[in-house]
Chains A and B, each alone.
Chain A
Amino acid sequence: MDPINHNAIEVNKLKKQFGDFVAVKDVSFTVQAGEIFGLLGPNGAGKTTLIRMLTTLTPPTSGAATVAGHDVVADPNGVRIAIGVIPQALTSDPDLTARENMTIHAKLYGLTGAQRQELIPRLLESVGLTEFADKLVGSFSGGMRRRLEIARGLVHSPKIMFLDEPTTGLDPVSRTAVWEMINKLKQGAGLTILLTTHYMDEADRLCDRIAIVDHGQLVALDTPAKLKDSVPGTDIVEAEFDNPPENWDAALEQLTGAASVANHSGVRHISSTSGPVTVRELMDLARDRGVTVRRVSVQGTTLDDVFLYYTGRQLRDAASESARRDIGYLYK
């Protein structure tokens, strides 16, 4: 497979309907070979359903998708052999050891004894589980299990990895470890990775390109930097001054790029289309007027802003919306 001009995943108007509820609405995108592609969205946005259709676990209602050149409906086994899947739920068997989990999976993929002997210790080593290889998985922490499952997903040397919310429920240290593993995979094995997440920082840090998913639809798709650039006027310049003169806020509003000024008990929040330019002018203005700048900082556009811009609401609001749907009876 040529990594440059071959799309690893092609999704064309994929749709999934459960009764009246449309979980995924005519989604189309392509993932290039060798990139880390992120599906970002709140719980209930349809990310897991989308990933299940691509990994042959759920049949699509309509539309088409090919994974590594195999159609997910017509040739599911071709897809299964080409992909490694780390589902959202922890699927390693707690009653077996790490090595046994790996062995059983390797056998299901048809690996020979010699291949297993060679690969399994190496994979366990790469996820830092060598000393726990013969311990029961039931005694593992969530992070260890997730790392084991990543190793297990690699046992048949797949071309494409699917990771459904790989760090949900993990502590910060384990999250960082999983991120490092994912980066290493991309660099080392040249894998194509499709992951879903509802963490902005995770998407920002790992993904080459991000698709924002909301209510089963793709609302934006680009690199993290371009997505942030596409959102107007959302750098925030935060500044504090000693003895600011009268009409100081009005003067601040005249700065290049400044869109609005808000005074939060002495701390000015200037929203700007270009943070660095506004800061330079602010410093000049303060010097000319003899105002002492006690503190100044620029907060660039975050993916939170991007999400807000494209969906009209904060990701955390979307999350509580879906929580309300899940545990609505608690609100009544």
Chain B
Amino acid sequence: MKFQRIFAIIERDMRKFFRSPALMMSSMIFPLMQLIVLGYAFGGKIKGIKIAVVDEDRTAASRDLRERFDAIVAGPRTMEVMNYGSISDALVDLRAGFVRAVVYIPADYSQRVEQGNRPRIAFIEDNTDNFVTSELFTRMQDLVRDINQGLNPFQPGQRLTVPLPRLNPLIDLQVVELYPYIEYIKYLLSGSIAMAVFIVAMIGGGITFIDDKSRGLHEGYLVTPITKTELIVGLILSGAIKGLMAGTTITVIGGLISGIDRLWDPVRLFYLAVVLSTTSAAMISFMFLLMVRVSDPLVPRAMFGVLNTLLYFPSGAIYPVEGFPVWLRWISYIDPFTYAVHALKALLLKNTGFSGIYSDILILAGFTVLLVSLSVAFFKRQI
């Protein structure tokens, strides 16, 4: 293996890269746009959901319930309460989409509260929007729990004047938050950085590689004494350098946009560079192996969307891996994106230092070695 030949291939690629600003721009604009749009679209707290309240009981107990709704309206403003006279009117408006849910307090509510006879409130929801439904349901559960805590479980109908600390059967969960509240845009940033690296790998390792091949440029190199290992190592190193540059740029710009604290911490920047280098090497090797036998320039273009979906979404960049079904988890295990996103999140959100990223780095480096070896094995030195 002669390093002069490897450097010649790297030199060629880097010169071409700096001559095509379109490639540099496209590798950065897409992930940044995604970061900003997705970050602001999904990041916000849901507010002002219209709900209908139908109170057929009209007693002190039901008024107490309605006051609790008003408290939510005044506080977190999750919902906007509209009072309806009849349940049928409320249901018509629910189906028409004017309100998202109906809370129905039946006429016997207070009576059952007095008797301790399982008082019931109906919560009728428009479940076509999961996000709205789950937010409303959480609020309703909180509300019902609060009311229940005020009732004496032993003597129906009697309000407790003092709490029963020893006898209270309910477990009180105390939540301790390790880190300050993470906005969704910060959560997304790691995925966007990995995406920038991926796009460079896709364009550099996929599209330009196949284009050069189909234009016959490779024939010019294959008649020289270059070996396939030299050619592949050269192409992968140049791809990794390009990926590192794109990843660093998105880390800085995205970090500023999403407001990452102490972005310029030099130790963290060093670890970020290590993660980005291994990520770039793994992604470009992955792409290279996929494209090693392809010669039709349409193939990498057609695969772009498929690969983007298959690698980005299962990586945990936008939703935690723990929420995936088993088959999707398996994709995430063999997806280099997963480890890149995990390491970047560890550094950007928690600033863990080396202990939080070394396993990801080892896995990505292992991936690279495996993929490069396979590429060398499958690459055809001849036409």
Contact of B217 with A108 in the complex, beta carbons under 8 Å: no
Q: Is A85 an interface residue (CB 8 A)?
A: yes
Measured between alpha carbons, how far is A83 from B4 in the docked complex, in Å? 20
Closest to B216 in A: A89
Q: Is A93 an interface residue (CB 8 A)?
A: yes
User: Which chain B residues lie closer than 8 Å to A52 at the CB level?
Assistant: 383
User: Given A83-B223, A96-B12, A107-B7, A90 and B216 touching (CB < 8 A)?
Assistant: yes
Shortest CB-to-CB span from A57 to chain B, Å, is 5
Q: How many A-B Cβ pairs are below 8 Å?
A: 74
Contact of A87 with B382 in the complex, beta carbons under 8 Å: no
User: Which chain B residues lie closer than 8 Å to A108 at the CB level?
Assistant: 5, 8, 221, 224-226
Closest to B231 in A: A108
Shortest CB-to-CB span from A44 to chain B, Å, is 17
Measured between alpha carbons, how far is A136 from B225 in the docked complex, in Å? 25
Q: Is B155 an interface residue (CB 8 A)?
A: no
Shortest CB-to-CB span from B215 to chain A, Å, is 7
User: Which chain A residues lie closer than 8 Å to B222 at the CB level?
Assistant: 57
Contact of B223 with A55 in the complex, beta carbons under 8 Å: yes
Shortest CB-to-CB span from A74 to chain B, Å, is 15
Q: Is B118 an interface residue (CB 8 A)?
A: no
Q: Is A29 an interface residue (CB 8 A)?
A: no
Shortest CB-to-CB span from A132 to chain B, Å, is 17
Contact of B5 with A107 in the complex, beta carbons under 8 Å: yes
Q: Is B15 an interface residue (CB 8 A)?
A: yes
Shortest CB-to-CB span from A159 to chain B, Å, is 14
> Out of B16, B20, B224, B382, which one reaches A105, CB within 8 Å?
B224
User: Which chain A residues lie closer than 8 Å to B219 at the CB level?
Assistant: 57, 87, 89, 91
Shortest CB-to-CB span from A16 to chain B, Å, is 12
Q: Is A59 an interface residue (CB 8 A)?
A: yes
Q: Is B2 an interface residue (CB 8 A)?
A: yes
User: Which chain B residues lie closer than 8 Å to A152 at the CB level?
Assistant: 220
> Out of B4, B12, B382, which one reaches A110, CB within 8 Å?
B4
User: Which chain B residues lie closer than 8 Å to A90 at the CB level?
Assistant: 216
Measured between alpha carbons, how far is A285 from B223 in the docked complex, in Å? 63
User: Which chain B residues lie closer than 8 Å to A253 at the CB level?
Assistant: none
Contact of B223 with A89 in the complex, beta carbons under 8 Å: no
Shortest CB-to-CB span from B4 to chain A, Å, is 6
> Out of A57, A59, A81, A87, which one reaches B225, CB within 8 Å?
A81
Measured between alpha carbons, how far is A56 from B226 in the docked complex, in Å? 12
Contact of A85 with B12 in the complex, beta carbons under 8 Å: no
Contact of A56 with B5 in the complex, beta carbons under 8 Å: no
User: Which chain A residues lie closer than 8 Å to B223 at the CB level?
Assistant: 55-57, 80, 83, 85, 87
Contact of B7 with A87 in the complex, beta carbons under 8 Å: no
User: Which chain A residues lie closer than 8 Å to B262 at the CB level?
Assistant: none
Contact of B16 with A107 in the complex, beta carbons under 8 Å: no
8 Å CB contacts to A: which residues of B194-222? 212, 215-222
> Out of A55, A91, A107, which one reaches B8, CB within 8 Å?
A107
Measured between alpha carbons, how far is A247 from B152 in the docked complex, in Å? 140
Measured between alpha carbons, how far is A92 from B216 in the docked complex, in Å? 9
Q: Is A100 an interface residue (CB 8 A)?
A: yes
User: Given A81-B225, A95-B20, A96-B12, A56 and B382 touching (CB < 8 A)?
Assistant: yes
Contact of A57 with B383 in the complex, beta carbons under 8 Å: yes
User: Given A57-B223, A80-B223, A87-B219, A110 and B5 touching (CB < 8 A)?
Assistant: yes
Closest to A100 in B: B15
Q: Contact residues of A with B, CB < 8 Å?
A: 52, 55-59, 77, 80-81, 83, 85, 87, 89-93, 95-96, 100, 104-105, 107-110, 136, 149, 152
In the complex, the 6 A-B pairs of residues with the closest C-beta atoms, listed nearest first:
A91-B220, A89-B216, A107-B8, A85-B223, A108-B224, A95-B16
29 contacts between A and B (CB under 8 A): A52-B383, A55-B223, A56-B382, A57-B219, A57-B383, A58-B383, A87-B220, A89-B216, A90-B216, A91-B216, A91-B220, A92-B217, A93-B12, A93-B16, A96-B15, A100-B12, A104-B12, A105-B220, A105-B224, A107-B7, A107-B8, A108-B5, A108-B8, A108-B221, A108-B225, A108-B226, A109-B224, A110-B4, A136-B19
Q: Contact residues of B with A, CB < 8 Å?
A: 2, 4-5, 7-9, 11-12, 15-16, 19-20, 212, 215-226, 382-383
